[in-house]
Amino acid sequence: MASSSSTPAATVACAVVAEAVVDTEDAVDRGREDDVQYSLKLGLQQPARADASDAVAAALWEPTDIQAWAVLILNTADPERKVALTRRGAALWQAGQLASPPPRFSQESDCRHAREPTPDRPARADGMMVVGPHEMKIGKGGTAASRVAILHSLANIEQFAIDLAWDIIARFGEAPLADGKVLPRGFFDDFVRVAVDEAHHYELLSGRLRALGSAFGALPVHHGLWQSAGETAADLKARLAVVHMVHEARGLDVTPQTIERLRRNGDPTSADMLQIIYEEEIGHVTAGMTWFRHVTAAESPGVDPIRLFHEVVRAHFRGPLKPPFNDAARAQAGFTPEWYLPLAA
Ligand SMILES: [Fe+2]
Ligand SMILES: [Fe+2]
C-alpha cells in the first residue's frame, strides 16, 4: 500500500481535498446565502434572498465520489437543500461522473483521511421540536389538524428515508464484502434511486403541508427511525434486513389505511399523493431484498437467505413483526410470506 510520504502526487491531491472540505464546512456555516447560490447553481427556483456573491457559489465544493456526496447530504440540515443535493448527486452519479468505490489500494487511498466521516446521525434543522416516538399525537384524520399532523409525520419519515438511503452508501459502500469483492455499481444505482424517490416523497408532503397552511417544522417530530440505523450501523446485512426490508415493508402494510382515511375525510389530494408514494415504496423493498441476497451469497455461501434473514432480524429488531401484512404489495417486491410470517406476533 502506498503512503503519503512516498507519493507526492497523493499528498498534493489530499491537500486539495482537505481544503475543499474546509470550504464546504464554511459554506454550510454561511447557511441561507449558500442555499440561494446553490439553488441558482442547480437551476432551482430562485429563493427570495438572492443577494449572495458569485464568489460564494464559485467556492462551493462538489464531491467527486458517491460516498462523499452521501456524507455531504447526511450533514445537510435543511431538508429542502437535502432534496436539491440529492438530485444533484444522483444526476452526477447517473451520468457516470462520480467514482465508486474510491481506489482503496492506490496513491489516492490516503485521501480517505481527508474526507469527513459518516456521521452517527444526520444533521437536522435548528428549531425542530423533537419528542419520543410515543409522544406523537397524530389522530385519525377526522379533523384538518389531524390530517396535517399525519402529513407532517410522514414528511419526517421521508426526510429520514432520504438519509437512510445515503447512509447505506456512505457507511457500507466502499468496504469489501467477506469474499473480498466490493459492492457492484448496481448497489449504488439502487440506493441512489431510492434516495431520489424519498426526496420526491418529502417534497410532495412538504408542499402539501404548505398548501394546507402549515409547513414542515411546525409540529414536533421524533427520531425513532434512526434507532434502527444505529442498531445496524456495523452490519450491512442487518441494515438491509431491518431498515430496507422490515421497515420499508411495514410502510406498505399501513399506507393503504392512511390513504383510505384521508380520502374518507375529504382530502383526496393528499390521498392521491400517498398512493404515488406507496407505489414507489414497493421498489425499495425489492432493493433491500436484492442486496440482502447478494451479501448473503458473498458472505455466507450455501446459507439459506431466508433463514439468515430470520436470525438477523431477531438479533437487531426488537419484538415480533406486526400483522396484518399487505401480502399483495409485499409479493410485488418478492417479499413472500416465508420471509416474514415466522417473525410475526
Ligand atoms: Fe418514501
Ligand atoms: Fe422508501
Lowest mean pLDDT among 40-49, 93-102, 156-165, 218-227: 40-49
pLDDT at 228 over 70: yes
What are the sequence ranges of the domains in the chain? 1-61, 64-95+127-343
Smallest-distance ligand from the CA of 203: 1
* Residue 53, all three cell numbers: 456573491
pLDDT of residue 128: 85
Q: Pick the closest to residue 73 from 176, 161, 201 (CA basis).
A: 161
Best CA proximity match to 84, nearest among 60, 101, 100: 60
- Residue 101 pLDDT: 60
| Residue 161 to residue 157: CA distance in whole angstroms | 6
The alpha carbon of 37 and the centre of ligand 2 are apart by a number of angstroms equal to: 30
**55-76: burial string, b at 16+ Cβ within 10 Å, e else:** ebbebbbbbebbbbbbbbbbbb
**How many angstroms separate the alpha carbon of residue 171 from the centre of ligand 2?**
18
Ligand 2 mean position, distance from CA 252 (Å): 9
Q: How far is the CA of 200 from the centre of ligand 1 (A)?
A: 8
Question: Which is nearest to 248 in space by CA: 170, 169, 340?
Answer: 340
Q: What is the pLDDT of residue 179?
A: 84
- Lowest mean pLDDT across 106-120, 128-142, 192-206: 106-120
CA 8 to ligand 2 centroid distance, Å = 44
Decide if pLDDT at 328 tops 60: yes
Q: Does 4 or 296 have the greater pLDDT score?
A: 296
Half-sphere exposure of 98 (CA within 13 A, CB side): 22
pLDDT confidence of 154, banded at 50, 70, 90?
A: very high
197 CA to centre of ligand 1 in angstroms: 6
pLDDT at 90 over 50: yes
Mean pLDDT on 322-330: 97
Instruction: For residues 64 and 48, give the distance between their C-alpha atoms in angstroms, rounded to a whole number.
Output: 30
Q: Cα of 231 to ligand 1 centre, how many Å?
A: 21
Reply yes or no on whether the pLDDT at 331 is more than 60: yes
Greater confidence, 21 or 194? 194
What are 141's three cell numbers?
Answer: 384524520
Centre of ligand 2 to C-alpha 161, Å, is 6
Rounded to the nearest angstrom, the distance between the alpha carbon of 329 and the centre of ligand 2 is 13
pLDDT of residue 238: 98
Tell me the CA–centroid distance for residue 20 and ligand 2, in Å: 32
Q: Could you report the per-residue pLDDT of 229-249, keeping only the tens digit for each?
A: 999 999 999 999 999 999 999
Expressed in angstroms and rounded, the spacing between residue 10 Cα and the centre of ligand 1 is 40
Surrounding residues of ion ligand 2, Cβ less than 5 A: 161, 281, 284
CA of 41 to the centre of ligand 1 (A): 26
- Res 13 pLDDT > 50: no
CA of 165, nearest ligand number: 2
Give residue 223's pLDDT: 87
The alpha-helical segments, DSSP class H, found in 60-184 are 66-74, 79-94, 144-172
pTM of the model: 0.81
Ligand nearest to the CA of 194: 2
Q: pLDDT tens for residues 42-76?
A: 433 333 333 334 444 444 678 989 999 999 999 99
C-beta of residue 276 within 8 angstroms of C-beta of residue 306:
no
Written as nine digits, the cell of 193 is 434511486
Cα of 248 vs centre of ligand 2, distance in Å, is 6
